[in-house]
Chains A and B, each alone.
Chain A
Amino acid sequence: SYELTQPPSVSVSPGQTARITCSGDALSKEYVYWYQEKTGQAPVMVIKKDSERPSGIPERFFGSSSGTRATLIISRAQAEDEADYYCQSVDSSRSHGWVFGGGTKLTVL
Chain B
Amino acid sequence: QVELVESGGGVAQPGGSLRLSCVASGFIFRTYGMYWVRQAPGKGLEWMAVVSHDGHNKYYADSVSGRFTVSRDNSKNTLYLQMDSLRVGDTAVYFCAKDGGYCSSVTCPIGDHYYYSGMDVWGQGATVTVSS
Contacts and interface: CB of A to CB of B under 8 A. Distances in A.
A99 B59 CA distance: 12
B44 interface: yes
Interface stretch (B45-53, B73-81, B84-92): B45-53
Contacts of B45: 35, 37, 43, 86, 88, 100, 103
Contacts of A102: 44
Interface residues of B, number: 23
Contact of A100 (B47, B100, B122): B47
| Chain A interface SS verdict (over half) | strand
B123 A42 contact: yes
B120 A100 contact: no
A49 B124 CA distance: 24
B118 A100 contact: no
A37 B61 CA distance: 22
Interface of A: 31, 33, 35, 37, 42-45, 48-49, 54, 84, 86, 88, 90, 94, 97-103
